[in-house]
Amino acid sequence: MAAVPMIELWRGGRLESAHLGHAVVWGPGGIEAEWGDAGAVIFPRSSCKMIQALPLVESGAAAAAGLSERQLALACASHQGAMIHTEAVSDWLAGLGLGESDLRCGSHLPNDPEARKALICSDTEPCQIHNNCSGKHAGFLTLGKHLKAGPDYVDPAHPVQRAVRAAFEDVTGAASPGFGIDGCSAPNFATTVAGLARAMQFFAAADPEGRRRDAAAARLARAMMAYPEMVAGEGRACTDLMRAMGGRVAVKTGAEAVFVAILPDQKRGIALKIVDGATRASEAAIVALLVKYGALPAAHSMAQKYLGASLTNWRGLRTGELRLSAGFA
């Protein structure tokens, strides 16, 4: 099946742009709803960080390192590089007896405006701790140390990535057809949109008192919901939406317009992919589905921020609006 229209941009009473995509809602009994092609193969990118963190927790590495719920949220994060993020990663690495040079994620300027300004104004180069994936990589290092493995933890053949792949294939329900290298240099295993939704349903239904993988999944989802500011940052959709839903739902974005949601109260998982890679459309689409399934009131300011509010230009003039396409959500 082909991708279907999901989000539209209207300007001057005319349809200006349309964003097509795929989405799946997976409940306790399997697929409950789908749009587009549930079998479309995608790279989940950063939307699957909670899956990549499963071996960290279920192996006992997190417990051995004394990791807090706040640190586990950071392991699932695509953070802004704000001080709360960089200080937390630095402290985490120091607790392992490691440092910035042990990371393998690369450097980029932080997205947090204050942190970016501070670096630019002081003529200081960013380091790997500023990388939005540095929390995930601190988790990889923690697992690697626990396994007594070598330093190149982003190598697909490394014990850390072999453990990640095994967990990924288990919760998605199928062998991955391959991987690509993510922006942070770690392998990103491909799956279908349905497989990603199945994985999110596993997290949503995970028994905190159950087997190791269930308990690990429940703990990671709980950490994300408890510390939304660590998962993304101020002004970001993940943080905004988790706060708006009162810590009852976990959501996570990924590059190229992937978005997932974990709804523990409903034991449902959601995954979607906008095929043109537009973030504005993936944010609007996940909001539409959260509203549809009663997790987020349509009138909430955060729902309106990402879907429904008027678009304005630099002078504050109303220029258009994002709308749902007919037949979606």
Strand partners, 9: 17, 322
Provide the pLDDT confidence category of residue 51 given band limits of 50, 70 and 90: very high
Q: Are strands 14-27 and 4-11 parallel, antiparallel or unpaired?
A: antiparallel
Q: Is 53 exposed, middle or buried (0-12, 13-18, 19+ CB in 10 A)?
A: buried
- pLDDT digits 0-9 by tens, 205-248: 999 999 999 999 999 999 999 999 999 999 999 999 999 999 99
Q: Is 124 exposed, middle or buried (0-12, 13-18, 19+ CB in 10 A)?
A: exposed
Cα-Cα-Cα-Cα dihedral sign, residues 321, 322, 328, 329: negative
DSSP 212-269: HHHHHHHHHHHHHHH-HHHHS-TT-HHHHHHHHTTTS-EEEEETTTEEEEEETTTTEE
Q: What pLDDT, on the 0 to 100 scale, is given for residue 1? A: 79
Provide the pLDDT confidence category of residue 110 given band limits of 50, 70 and 90: very high
* Nearest in space to 282 (alpha carbons), one of 7, 1, 88, 12: 7
* Nearest in space to 309 (alpha carbons), one of 294, 296, 323: 323
First CA to last CA distance, the chain: 18
The token pair that represents 187 in the structure block: 């392998």
Three-class DSSP category at 91: helix
Q: What pLDDT, on the 0 to 100 scale, is given for residue 308? A: 85
* Nearest in space to 221 (alpha carbons), one of 260, 174, 256, 273: 260
Provide the pLDDT confidence category of residue 329 given band limits of 50, 70 and 90: confident
- pLDDT digits 0-9 by tens, 165-189: 999 999 999 999 999 999 999 999 9
For residues 262 and 242, is the Cβ–Cβ distance under 8 A?
no
For residues 222 and 69, is the Cβ–Cβ distance under 8 A?
yes
Domain-wise residue ranges, the chain: 4-324
- pLDDT exceeds 90 at position 309: no
Q: What pLDDT, on the 0 to 100 scale, is given for residue 236? A: 98
Query: Which pTM does this prediction carry?
Result: 0.97
Does the domain at 4-324 match CATH 3.40.710? Answer given as yes
- pLDDT digits 0-9 by tens, 33-50: 999 999 999 999 999 999
